[in-house]
């Protein structure tokens, strides 16, 4: 399902996957069944993005705040991410998908971290599209860890405050976990909520936003295509006039 020829394609699409719990509740199912169904939507979004030449697809899979959900749901999500990564590995290799995880990896269970390491190593040379899962991530956490790094560098420079004078936005960006990854051109949020929820606060400074009422488990390839088409119609000015 390719876009019309000549349409502007976002280089980096990022998605806040929302509405899994509501999708399940509407069907009288347990909330976690919505997460399970949500994995199929991840596959659909990845396929549609890859077919249209998107270079990076990132997904907010588990926020720092999500640790506050009931233990059963947190454990289910950790296991689902482990199982999905292992199940999709063959598919990633067959389709040229480079897989990455960004976030506070130290807080994740060992079994999940081992599967992430394996998938990242195996797919490191794949070139068609990069898929990033943000796990145990929040924008404020990312900015804070970068600021701490910067402070440590200033101290070890021996010059203190005068060393900081030369630090620019690019230097700061390189301390965020997204170092080397282009900022998202398009941020999609499903399920009708219209907020950023502590997601890519620094990196999303000039992102276009696309909100849809569709719940994440119902977000299929046709929905992804609609979002890409809408992006093609946006006029990006980055604070300037055209
Ligand atoms: C938000 O819905 C969704 C999540 C917190 C988890 C999404 C994670 C996945 C679908 C797993 C993807 C993993 C891989 C490896 C592909 P919600 O629970 O906040 O829904 P609600 O707002 O209706 O309650």
The domain spans of the chain are: 12-137+183-232, 139-181
Helices (H) and strands (E) in the chain, counts: 8, 6
In angstroms, the CA 40 to CA 88 distance is: 11
Pocket flag, ligand 1, residue 81 (CB < 6 Å): yes
Pocket flag, ligand 1, residue 80 (CB < 6 Å): yes
**What's the pLDDT tens digit per position in 56-69?**
999 999 999 999 99
Percent of all residues in the chain with a pLDDT value above 90, rounded to a whole number: 93
Q: What is the dihedral of CA 87, 105, 181, 10, to 10 degrees?
A: 50
Residues 6+ positions from 132 with CB-CB distance below 8 Å: 56, 57, 58, 59, 100, 101, 102, 181
Whether 1 has a pLDDT exceeding 90, the answer reads no
pTM of the model: 0.95
> With bands split at pLDDT 50, 70 and 90, how would you rate the model's confidence at 7?
confident
**What's the pLDDT tens digit per position in 222-237?**
999 999 999 999 987 8
**pLDDT of 119:** 98
**pLDDT of 69:** 96
The predicted model gives 155-168 an average pLDDT of 92
Question: What is the CA(8)–ligand 1 centre distance, in A?
Answer: 29
Whether 105 has a pLDDT exceeding 70, the answer reads yes
Question: What is the CA(6)–ligand 1 centre distance, in A?
Answer: 34
Question: What is the CA(150)–ligand 1 centre distance, in A?
Answer: 33
**pLDDT of 235:** 82
Pocket flag, ligand 1, residue 61 (CB < 6 Å): yes
Question: What is the CA(17)–ligand 1 centre distance, in A?
Answer: 6
Q: Which of 18, 52, 142, 185 is catalytic?
A: 18
CATH number for region 12-137+183-232 = 3.40.1180.10
The predicted model gives 90-118 an average pLDDT of 98
In angstroms, the CA 130 to CA 239 distance is: 29
In angstroms, the CA 45 to CA 149 distance is: 34
Q: Counting atoms of ligand 1 from 1, which one is nearest the CA of 66?
A: 5
């Amino acid at each position: 399902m390719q876009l019309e020829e000549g349409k502007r394609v976002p280089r980096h699409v990022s998605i806040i996957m929302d509405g899994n719990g509501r999708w399940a509740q509407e069907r009288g199912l347990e909330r976690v069944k919505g997460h399970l169904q949500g994995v199929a939507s991840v596959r659909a979004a990845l396929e549609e993005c890859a077919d249209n030449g998107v270079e990076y697809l990132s997904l907010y899979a588990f926020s720092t705040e999500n640790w506050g959900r009931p233990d059963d749901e947190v454990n289910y999500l950790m296991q689902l991410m482990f199982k999905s990564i292992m199940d999709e590995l063959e598919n990633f290799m067959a389709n040229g998908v480079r897989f990455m995880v960004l976030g506070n990896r130290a807080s994740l269970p060992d079994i999940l971290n081992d599967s992430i390491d394996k998938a990242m190593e195996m797919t490191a040379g794949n070139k068609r599209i990069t898929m990033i899962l943000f796990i145990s991530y929040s924008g404020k956490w990312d900015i804070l860890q970068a600021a701490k790094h910067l402070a440590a560098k200033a101290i070890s420079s021996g010059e203190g405050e005068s060393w900081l004078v030369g630090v620019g936005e690019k230097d700061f960006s390189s301390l965020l976990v997204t170092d080397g990854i282009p900022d998202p051109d398009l941020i999609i949020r499903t399920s009708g909520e219209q907020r950023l929820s502590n997601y890519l606060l620094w990196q999303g400074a000039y992102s276009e936003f696309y909100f849809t009422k569709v719940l994440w488990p119902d977000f299929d390839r046709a929905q992804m295509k609609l979002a890409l088409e809408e992006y093609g119609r946006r006029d990006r000015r980055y604070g300037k006039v055209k």
